[in-house]
Amino acid sequence: MSATPSDVARAPREFSTAGLPAGERIERWERHNSTALIGLQCRTIGSGALDAREINVELGALGLARVIAGPHIVERSTAHITASPVDSIALYFTLSGEAFFYRDDGVRTLRPGQVLAMDADTPFVRGFSGGLDELVVRVPRAAFADHTGLADLDRPVVAAFNGDPQADALAHLVARALSADATAPADEDTLLDLVAFIATGGRRAGASTHLAAAKAFIAAHLTDPRLGAAMVAAGVGLSARQLSRVFADSGVSVPHYIRERRLDRAHALLIDTARQHLPVADIAAQCGFGSAAHFSTAFAERFGAAPSEIRRRR
Indicate whether 24 and 97 sit together in one domain. yes
Residue 2: per-residue pLDDT: 36
3-state secondary structure string, 164-199?
CHHHHHHHHHHHHHHCCCCCCCCCHHHHHHHHHHHH
Q: Tell me how many domains the chain contains.
A: 2
Last residue of one domain, picked from the residues 146, 161, 176: 161
Once rounded to an integer, what is the mean pLDDT over residues 35-64?
93
CA–CA distance, 181 with 133 (Å, rounded to integer):
20
242-297 pLDDT per residue, tens: 999 999 998 999 999 999 999 998 998 898 888 888 899 999 999 999 899 999 99
Last residue of a domain, one of 109, 128, 161: 161
Higher pLDDT, 274 or 229: 229
Mean pLDDT of 104-116: 93
Does one domain contain both 25 and 157? yes
Q: Residue 182: what pLDDT?
A: 55
What CATH number does the domain containing 73 carry?
2.60.120.10
* CATH, residue 239: 1.10.10.60
pTM given for the model: 0.79
The one-letter amino acid at 220: A
pLDDT at 257: 94
Where residue 5 falls among pLDDT bands split at 50, 70, 90? very low
Q: Which residues contact 2 (CB under 8 A, 6 or more apart)?
A: none
> Of 161, 193, 208, at which residue does a domain stop?
161
Q: Which amino acid is at 55?
A: I
The DSSP symbol for 273 reads G
In a domain, residue 114? The reply is: yes
Query: Is 175 within a domain?
Result: no
Sheet holding 88-96, edge to edge: 13-16, 52-59, 62-69, 132-140, 88-96, 114-119, 157-160
Backbone angles phi, psi at 254, to 5 degrees: -65, -50
Q: Which domain holds residue 63?
A: 5-161
Q: Which of 140, 126, 51 is nearest to 92 (CA)?
A: 126
CA atoms of 151 and 209, how far apart (whole Å) = 21
What number is the average pLDDT over the span 210-214? Answer: 85
**pLDDT tens digits for 144-187?**
999 888 888 889 999 988 778 888 888 988 998 898 665 455 67
Q: Which amino acid is at 47?
A: S
Determine whether 49 is exposed, middle or buried from the number of CB atoms within 10 Å of its CB (0-12, 13-18, 19+). Answer: middle
